[in-house]
Amino acid sequence: MTTDVAEPVEAVAIAPAADPGFLQRYGGTIEYILIPGAALVGALGVFGIFVAMFGKNPLDLYFYMYQGAFGTWFSWQNTLTRAAPLILTALCTALPAQLGMVIIGGEGALLIGALSATSAALMLQWASPLAVQLAMACAGMAGGGLWIMLSGGLRQYRGVNETISSLLLVYIALAILNHLVEGPMRDPASLNKPSTREIGAANMIGSIPGTDIHWGLVFGIIAAIASYILIYHTVFGFAARVAGGNIRAAKIVGLGVGKLILTICFLAGASAGLAGMVEVAAVQGRTNANLAAGYGFTGILVAFLARQNPLAVIPVAILLGGISASGGLLQRRLDLPDASVLVLQGIIFLFVLASDALYGRIGFLKGKS
């Protein structure tokens, strides 16, 4: 054992002076596509082995996964419907990541957003549907935003690790939701599954004309594009990237780091809160424990696979939406247990996290002579 391990760091510092060629310029981008892609393929391979242990043919598995996700117009619609909340919850992780924060509590913000949106709708039963929908969106975003802002505030003013606090807040959110739907907000008619009252069919936001895909997908895509513009083209995003890249540099140029953290956390939570509102206003029609379907947690996976890039979140969310959409077909055709899609998601997450170690280490991308 020697203590010379510090050395490779210096080696990296010298290397980038070289080679202004194609790989130098685009090597980074290629890496961002190649490595997560390879991680995905690797994960599918391991999942194939897992399935083979159940005595099923992995090739059948891949075929049905494709069929169930992208094979028909029906499966496309199913996929896109599932992608919508994933885009929004992924932003809940991807936005704070620009500041160097790891927020994994999108599920909590989604639940609080759903609860706030439902409350707004139930209080405004006399108003026009458009007003109700707007109020639901505002309430959902405000609720989710404040929820994640709580994590940001704890981090900024109390030094509490935001990853832990945001995760624990998920369970608090779930407890609040359960308390309200089983107590004060319970619809007496909901016997088996305690729920709130319905927001009313007129107040539902409906589908994109000609499809069964609800408007949440459009909200998600707009939010992702807006986030991208915010981060890469505005003064606010620039300040956030400075603070996220090096907090000491941000302080030396006098940037208000606390304000940045709170604002970004609010926007992140608002995005997940909007996902909750969409789930209520487009799918469930009411709030109950069904909302804790794990979209918030899958969103973390989407954000990491997308390398925290708000634009890349869109295709990745569609991909993972497809994987979850194919779950039903796998269950029917291959007789696989319901949870096997979750197993696949877990394997993907492990592969993606492990693949992080590969950045900057792929020989042919470094432009060696």
Partner 1 sequence: MIIGEPPLPEGTPGIDAIAMTMRFGEFVALDNVELKVRPGSFHALLGENGAGKSTLVKCIMGYYHPTAGSILVGGREQAIANPKDAHALGLGMVYQHFTLVPAMTVAENLVLARDDVPAIVNWPREKKELEAFLARMPFKVPLNARVSDISAGERQKCEILKQLYLKRRFLILDEPTSVLTPAEADEVLGMLRNMVVAGELTILMITHKFREVMAFADDVTILRRGKLAGHGRVADLTPDDMARTMIGAEELTVQPARIGEVTATRLELSKLNALDDAGAVAVHDISLTVRGGEIVGIAGVSGNGQRQLVEVLSGQREAESGEIRVAGDLYHASREEMRQHKMSLLPEEPLKNACVGGMSVADNIAFREFDRAPFASGGWWLNRAAFRTEAERKIGLYKIKTRTPDTPIAALSGGNVQRAVLARELGGDVEVLIAANPCFGLDFAAVAQIHAEIMAARNRGAAVLLVSEDLDELLELSDRLMVIFHGELVYEARAGETNLTEIGRHMAGH
Q: Which residues bind partner 1 (CB under 8 A)?
A: 1-8, 10-11, 13-21, 24, 233-239, 241-242, 245-246, 248-249, 251-256, 366-369
What three-state secondary structure class fits 207?
A: strand
CB 98 within 8 A of CB 268: no
| Between 21 and 206, CB nearer to partner 1 | 21
Q: 369: which DSSP letter?
A: -
Q: Least Å distance between CB 2 and partner 1?
A: 6
Q: Least Å distance between CB 161 and partner 1?
A: 18
| Between 15 and 33, CB nearer to partner 1 | 15
| Between 161 and 234, CB nearer to partner 1 | 234
Residues 311, 287, 264, 37, CA torsion sign: negative
Q: Least Å distance between CB 363 and partner 1?
A: 12
Q: Measured between alpha carbons, how far is 182 from 177 in angstroms, rounded to an integer?
A: 8
| Between 25 and 179, CB nearer to partner 1 | 25
Q: Least Å distance between CB 157 and partner 1?
A: 13
Q: Least Å distance between CB 336 and partner 1?
A: 43
| Between 253 and 357, CB nearer to partner 1 | 253
Q: Hey, what are 303's tokens?
A: 């954000």
Query: CA-CA-CA-CA torsion for 183, 187, 192, 198, nearest 10 degrees?
Result: -130
Q: What is the largest CA-CA distance in the chain?
A: 75
CB 347 within 8 A of CB 43: yes
156: amino acid identity, one letter: Q
CB 354 within 8 A of CB 39: yes
Q: Hey, what are 28's tokens?
A: 């980074």
| Between 251 and 332, CB nearer to partner 1 | 251
Q: Is 230 exposed, middle or buried (0-12, 13-18, 19+ CB in 10 A)?
A: middle
- Name residue 196's beta-bridge partners: 186
| Between 100 and 346, CB nearer to partner 1 | 100
Q: Least Å distance between CB 136 and partner 1?
A: 28
Q: Measured between alpha carbons, how far is 107 from 293 in angstroms, rounded to an integer?
A: 9
Q: Measured between alpha carbons, how far is 59 from 46 in angstroms, rounded to an integer?
A: 13
Q: 15: which DSSP letter?
A: G
Q: Least Å distance between CB 12 and partner 1?
A: 9
How many Cβ atoms are within 10 Å of 201's Cβ, its own excluded? 9
Q: Least Å distance between CB 242 and partner 1?
A: 6
| Between 191 and 357, CB nearer to partner 1 | 357
